[in-house]
Structure 1
Amino acid sequence: MSKTTSQPRKPMQGHGPGGMIMHGEKAKDFKGTFKKLVRYMGTYKFSLITVLIFAVASTVFSILGPKILGKATNALFTGIMSKVTGTGGGIDFGYIANIMLWLIGLYLISTLFSYVQGYIMTGISMKVTYQLRREIAAKIQKLPFQYYDSTSNGEVLSHITNDVDAISQSLNQSVTQIITSVTTIIGILIMMLSISWQMTLVALCIIPASMTFILTILRKSQKHFIAQQTFLGHVNGHIEEMYSSHVVVKAFNGEAESAKTFDSFNDTLYTSAWKSQFMSGMMMPVMSFIGNLGYVGVCILGGYLAANGRISVGDIQAFIQYVRQFTQPMTQVANISNVLQQTAAAAERVFAFLEQPEEVPESSSPISVNTGHGPDTELNVHIQGSVQFAHVHFGYHPDKIIVNDFSANIRPGQKVAIVGPTGAGKTTMVKLLMRFYDVNEGAILVDGYDIRDFRRNDLRSLFGMVLQDTWLYNASIADNIRYGRLDATDEEVIAAAKAAQVHHFVRTLPDGYNMILNEDTSNVSQGQKQLLTIARVILADPQILILDEATSSVDTRTEILIQKAMDNLMKGRTSFVIAHRLSTIRDADLILVMKDGDIVEQGNHEELLGKNGFYANLYNSQFVKPEALEAGV
């Protein structure tokens, strides 16, 4: 692979909030969403077939009960009538006892089959949701930074918690209920026809009324279920942000505004949840009322047929039980349909998130970084540390370019300072160098190789970063330092801590290096956090260093000690130092002065002061009294 500047590539397109369905918007693809869910479940098709067989068997054995019980009723009625008329020997209790034993056996088998299919279905639903959570977690790592620029953390967390939980509950309960309900309806219909087709027609009259009601409710409730799931994500996002920033909220008296925003989201959530649940709750009483109308009609017709001797009492009793059972699965289907609305809303959000455009794919023939264990080859290189910005253009949104034609050449081992006023693009250049974002035009090269030709992991392993915003996690101090190199020994961790001037204060802590930092790392000071992140970078021992105001949160004495350690660390390494206090970068080999996304001056400290230009004004302004600046002095 030649060391030539790559051709400008197409800009990465911006992304809107992923997975968000705004209030009142209908599901875009109801059928498609369930097809995707079915594909996820297709991995367990043999288990699903087993669930289907056992659910059907359980339902069939349950359906046979009323028919057999009708025979016992007939025997009991015949015995009583024969005794009253004196034409027989009375009730045959032995025959009735045998029927009861058969019924007990049938119901026990039905219960066993129902338990087995429920056990298997629970396993399937847990595996599906487990897979969804894994894919969401993996997707979080693959999404470009643009996505998180426009989506709150709470929204993303809502996908992996609320949305997946809704899918899990629906799969676990609804699938088997659909199977058993459909089987029950078909089975009961057959049994009712075998008893009396006339009464069956009366019972079937409830279906048009039921279906009309169900479809009406479905049309009206869908948008409320979608809004409920969407604003649940909004509430979670707001709470997560307000909790993580509660110190800032209190410091600026933002409690009232925060509560107002929360109330707005919560009121909408309450309204949508109330409407959706109210409509869902209407199903059972209305369906019961419609079922009772059919029940009354069957009783009247059954009594007429029995009076004319065209049907037995036991068959009427069995038929009435079937009518009761016939309306129950229809009610279940109606309730399930509401659950499926919520499932569709949740699943659609999850799949929309999983289908978000990912980072630009790796090069088809990526360059590997030689770690020193093999010879340099065309695709396995040892990095010296030269960096070139070749006519870089970049904007967080393609229609708003903030870095214009940025070019610079940095030799291996140079200490490069990037200075400029706030918003000049200093930190943006570092993000581009780390390939957190891709350039819109131009190229960034390391040792002559376009950084887009490296694997992202290999590229980022070349850099060690210390930023203004410290990042530590809920673990021991030793583990937080070891994050720079996970295979480091305890001795190496301590050595890095000493080099970063962090060893002394760690020894004064109750558990030393084993002390656990809490979730918001509030049990150490801001300056101590900065020291720990510097120790982490020292342990990582990278080829290129990036220091973004790395000593901004420490006192002057500690800053001097850290600066000495960093100077030793930077020897032989290419270093990028973003600084606001220009007095700290006077020894830099190269100073890049940025303004409005462009480099306006380049050179060392003495050269730039000699030009008496923009850098000289910035430098001198730090030693001039504020009133003089206001006066234009």
Structure 2
Amino acid sequence: MARNTYDVDESLEQEFNWGHYRRLAGYIKPYKKPISKILATIILANIAGMAGPYFTKIAIDDLIPAGNVQQLLGLGGIFILSLVLIGGCMRYRIYAITEVGQDILKDMRYDIFAHLQRLPFAYFDNRPHGKILIRVVNYINTLSDLLSNGLINLISDLFNVVITLGFMLLIDVRLTLYSMALLPVLFGLVLFIKKRQRIAFQILSNKQSNLNAYIHESISGIKITQSFAREQVNYDIFNEVSEEYRTSWMKAVKIQFLMWPGVLNISVLTTCLIYFVGIRQIGVSVSTGTLIAFIGYINNFWNPVINIGNFYNSLITATAYLERIFETLDEVPSIQDAPDAYELPPVKGAVDFENVTFRYEEGKDILHKVNFHIEPGQSIALVGPTGAGKTTVINLLSRFYDINEGSVKIDGHDVRDVTLGSLRSQMGVMLQDTFIFSGTILENIRYGKLDATEEEVIAAAKVVRAHDFIQHLKDGYHTVVEERGSTLSAGQRQLLSFARALLADPKILILDEATASIDTRTEELLQEGLQKLLKDRTSFIIAHRLSTIKNSSRIFYVAGGNIAEAGTHEELMAQKGLYHHLYQSQYDLLQAV
């Protein structure tokens, strides 16, 4: 049985790539100044924290035996001040680290979203949208703890370990060596866990991605699901995908949680060893105050080591998600500006296809050596059988795909030589599946011309016959519509799309089945508006309803990867060829109805 796209695990990167963390450091670099302040605060707090055990040693070995109450109270006062200092530093650190970490996440999220805007249609055609969405939201959110606390705390803990070792060596070198006797066991544990944990979280990220993709697909297709009463089947599929995620989660956390108890047990065993050695040496080479202070420093030593172990856990976990994030950022747009691309000047609308050949996959040409010239202001209708390449023609003109051979020119400018922004800003594309964004009617019409006034929006809507239904909505042009315009009919959405295109005033207009969802009565009312929309601009019209294209300047019948017939409606009807047969078939069908 073929696997669905949501159930296909993405490939795993087997080698640990430190380059991901060098790239992550690039996001941290702009925040060097606030991070330096945080580090200075941490260092100050750590130094203050180191005084406690040393004060204890002085009190037990010197001040208490001597009965020096005054100095003992003074030492206690200094210790209390150190605790207040530590508390103030911690309060500042927590707030500042969180702010910096969230700023870094915002930068990463912006970069990946901006990059997705530049990727070609093919990237989105080949991937479930849920798997793309999870990288922008969930995977980046997973890095929150690593960036908000982990990296800064790592530096703090490393500094803490070094300072503590310095104090320990100052007090007793032999006990310090005993304290580090079990460190090789810790390193062995880290090496044992490292690879297993990373692979486990890679598998977990795959299953999480699969689950997110299926949920997204199910929500998008809920109307079809309910129409075919397929709910139970979808429940079963969801349970299967969800169970795979649960199983992979349990395996991953079982490995992850080996680190913390492992380090904790090693630290307890080390403390026991110091007690055993120290008690036997009390009165010989170790004083009581020295032993108590040393135990305090042992805790100061192993607490940051435990924290470093937890950070290492977060690091390995984050690696699985960083790989996916940077994989997306490394996706090279197949359609992008050439290094020497220039701005396309305002165009008149002449279009030339010169020996254009295009294929989606090797060996299967969709278009083969297509040639035509269109004068500015002409309207060109593209007709022909499904899959003949009609939509491909307009996709190549808009440079949503690049041709394999030949050239596509607008006013003599090859579309590959100009910037994408300057090219597409002078084109208007209207599709059969009109997309309406969440927001007001006014904002949707204004989408292609953000500086348009409300009066200009209303004028455009009146031309395309959208004004009548808009003014009957609850709040008129300020009525809020849901995502995809689900509260509007298909015909109303297309009328809004016409208004949006008219307001943007493109020099080249593309209508891909743009009137398919409009009823015949509305289409008759729209014809006058359409003529105004098409006036003085080059237009390409794809329509299976041939009555809508009879007045086009020329009609291209696309078949066999080329322009099989070209001419006006009257010329093609007189030829009694492919177009005549298609038109006659539609006419006979309408007569039969």
Q: TM-score range by the shorter chain?
A: over 0.9
1:588, distance to aligned residue in structure 2 (A) = 2.1
AA aligned to 1:38 is A
Aligned-partner Cα distance in 2 for 1:189–1:119: 29
Establish whether residue 590 from structure 1 lines up as the match of residue 554 from structure 2: yes
Q: Is the 8 A contact 1:146 1:396 kept in 2?
A: no
Equivalenced residue count is 584
Query: Which residue pairs with 2:581 in the alignment?
Result: 617
Aligned-partner Cα distance in 2 for 1:353–1:281: 30
Q: Is the 8 A contact 2:349 2:377 kept in 1?
A: yes
Q: Is the 8 A contact 2:64 2:72 kept in 1?
A: no
Among 318, 333, 350, the alignment partner of 1:343 is 318
1:46, distance to aligned residue in structure 2 (A) = 3.4
Query: Which residue pairs with 2:185 in the alignment?
Result: 209
- Residue 622 of structure 1 aligns to a residue in which SS? helix
- Residue 485 of structure 2 aligns to a residue in which SS? coil
Query: Which residue pairs with 2:17 in the alignment?
Result: 30
1:69-91 CA-to-partner distances (Å, cap 9, x unmatched) read 12223357637xxxxxxxxxxx4
Among 304, 308, 311, the alignment partner of 1:329 is 304
Q: Is the 8 A contact 2:427 2:506 kept in 1?
A: yes
Aligned-partner Cα distance in 1 for 2:384–2:454: 40
Aligned-partner Cα distance in 1 for 2:119–2:197: 33
Q: Is the 8 A contact 1:77 1:313 kept in 2?
A: no
AA aligned to 2:342 is P
AA aligned to 1:563 is Q
Q: How does 1:435-514 map to 2 (within 5 A)?
A: 435-514=399-478
1:27-75 CA-to-partner distances (Å, cap 9, x unmatched) read 5452111111122222233333333333223212212211211222335
Establish whether residue 266 from structure 1 lines up as the match of residue 237 from structure 2: no
Aligned-partner Cα distance in 2 for 1:410–1:260: 55
Aligned-partner Cα distance in 2 for 1:69–1:478: 72
- Residue 338 of structure 1 aligns to a residue in which SS? helix
AA aligned to 1:165 is N
Change (3 A) 1:97 1:265: same
Instruction: Tell me which moved more, 588-597 or 264-273.
Output: 264-273
Question: Any stretches of 5+ residues in structure 2 without a counterpart?
Answer: none
Query: Which residue pairs with 1:355 in the alignment?
Result: 330
Aligned-partner Cα distance in 1 for 2:339–2:193: 52
Q: Is the 8 A contact 2:395 2:401 kept in 1?
A: yes
- Residue 368 of structure 1 aligns to a residue in which SS? coil
1:398, distance to aligned residue in structure 2 (A) = 4.5
Query: Which residue pairs with 2:55 in the alignment?
Result: 68
Establish whether residue 416 from structure 1 lines up as the match of residue 404 from structure 2: no
1:412-448 CA-to-partner distances (Å, cap 9, x unmatched) read 2222110011111111111111111111111111222
Query: Which residue pairs with 1:169 in the alignment?
Result: 145
Change (3 A) 1:398 1:146: farther
Question: Any stretches of 5+ residues in structure 1 without a counterpart?
Answer: 1-16, 80-90, 371-382, 629-633
Change (3 A) 1:242 1:299: same
Structure with the larger RCO, 1 or 2 (CA within 8 Å, 6+ apart): 1
Among 228, 236, 240, the alignment partner of 1:252 is 228
Establish whether residue 579 from structure 1 lines up as the match of residue 570 from structure 2: no
1:158-217 CA-to-partner distances (Å, cap 9, x unmatched) read 222112212232011111221222122222222222232332222211211111112211
Q: Is the 8 A contact 2:337 2:416 kept in 1?
A: no
Q: Percent identity?
A: 34
1:399, distance to aligned residue in structure 2 (A) = 5.1
Change (3 A) 1:414 1:135: same
Q: Is the 8 A contact 1:592 1:602 kept in 2?
A: yes
Query: Which residue pairs with 1:44 in the alignment?
Result: 31
Aligned-partner Cα distance in 2 for 1:585–1:361: 34
Query: Which residue pairs with 1:98 in the alignment?
Result: 74
Change (3 A) 1:333 1:400: farther
Query: Which residue pairs with 2:371 in the alignment?
Result: 407
Q: How does 1:229-248 map to 2 (within 5 A)?
A: 229-248=205-224
Query: Which residue pairs with 1:309 in the alignment?
Result: 284
Query: Which residue pairs with 1:4 in the alignment?
Result: none
Aligned-partner Cα distance in 2 for 1:543–1:442: 24
Establish whether residue 540 from structure 1 lines up as the match of residue 504 from structure 2: yes
Q: How does 1:550-561 map to 2 (within 5 A)?
A: 550-561=514-525
- Residue 448 of structure 2 aligns to a residue in which SS? coil
Q: Is the 8 A contact 1:27 1:348 kept in 2?
A: no
1:624, distance to aligned residue in structure 2 (A) = 4.2
Establish whether residue 224 from structure 1 lines up as the match of residue 200 from structure 2: yes
Aligned-partner Cα distance in 2 for 1:36–1:617: 61
Q: Is the 8 A contact 1:367 1:454 kept in 2?
A: yes
Aligned-partner Cα distance in 2 for 1:292–1:367: 69
Establish whether residue 393 from structure 1 lines up as the match of residue 357 from structure 2: yes
Change (3 A) 1:541 1:184: closer
Change (3 A) 1:589 1:292: same
Among 248, 252, 255, the alignment partner of 1:276 is 252
- Residue 317 of structure 1 aligns to a residue in which SS? helix
Q: Is the 8 A contact 2:512 2:542 kept in 1?
A: yes
1:119, distance to aligned residue in structure 2 (A) = 3.8
AA aligned to 1:42 is K
Q: Is the 8 A contact 1:193 1:200 kept in 2?
A: yes
- Residue 401 of structure 1 aligns to a residue in which SS? strand
Aligned-partner Cα distance in 2 for 1:532–1:495: 12
Instruction: Tell me which moved more, 115-124 or 185-194.
Output: 115-124
Aligned-partner Cα distance in 2 for 1:367–1:56: 53
Aligned-partner Cα distance in 1 for 2:339–2:36: 43
Aligned-partner Cα distance in 2 for 1:461–1:293: 70
Establish whether residue 200 from structure 1 lines up as the match of residue 176 from structure 2: yes
Q: Is the 8 A contact 1:75 1:96 kept in 2?
A: no
Q: Is the 8 A contact 2:396 2:402 kept in 1?
A: yes
1:607, distance to aligned residue in structure 2 (A) = 2.4
1:444-469 CA-to-partner distances (Å, cap 9, x unmatched) read 11222212233222222322222101
Change (3 A) 1:484 1:130: closer
1:483-533 CA-to-partner distances (Å, cap 9, x unmatched) read 232222222211211111111111111111111111242221111111111
Q: Is the 8 A contact 1:206 1:290 kept in 2?
A: yes
AA aligned to 2:463 is A
Instruction: Tell me which moved more, 106-115 or 491-500.
Output: 106-115
1:534, distance to aligned residue in structure 2 (A) = 0.9
AA aligned to 1:279 is I
Query: Which residue pairs with 1:158 in the alignment?
Result: 134
1:550-593 CA-to-partner distances (Å, cap 9, x unmatched) read 21112211111112221233233222111112232222221111
AA aligned to 1:614 is L
Q: Is the 8 A contact 1:464 1:537 kept in 2?
A: yes
Aligned-partner Cα distance in 2 for 1:171–1:347: 12
Q: Is the 8 A contact 1:69 1:103 kept in 2?
A: no
1:9-32 CA-to-partner distances (Å, cap 9, x unmatched) read xxxxxxxx9xx9836x24545211
1:338, distance to aligned residue in structure 2 (A) = 0.8
Q: Is the 8 A contact 1:56 1:179 kept in 2?
A: no
1:541, distance to aligned residue in structure 2 (A) = 2.4
Change (3 A) 1:180 1:354: same
Aligned-partner Cα distance in 1 for 2:355–2:57: 89
AA aligned to 2:185 is A
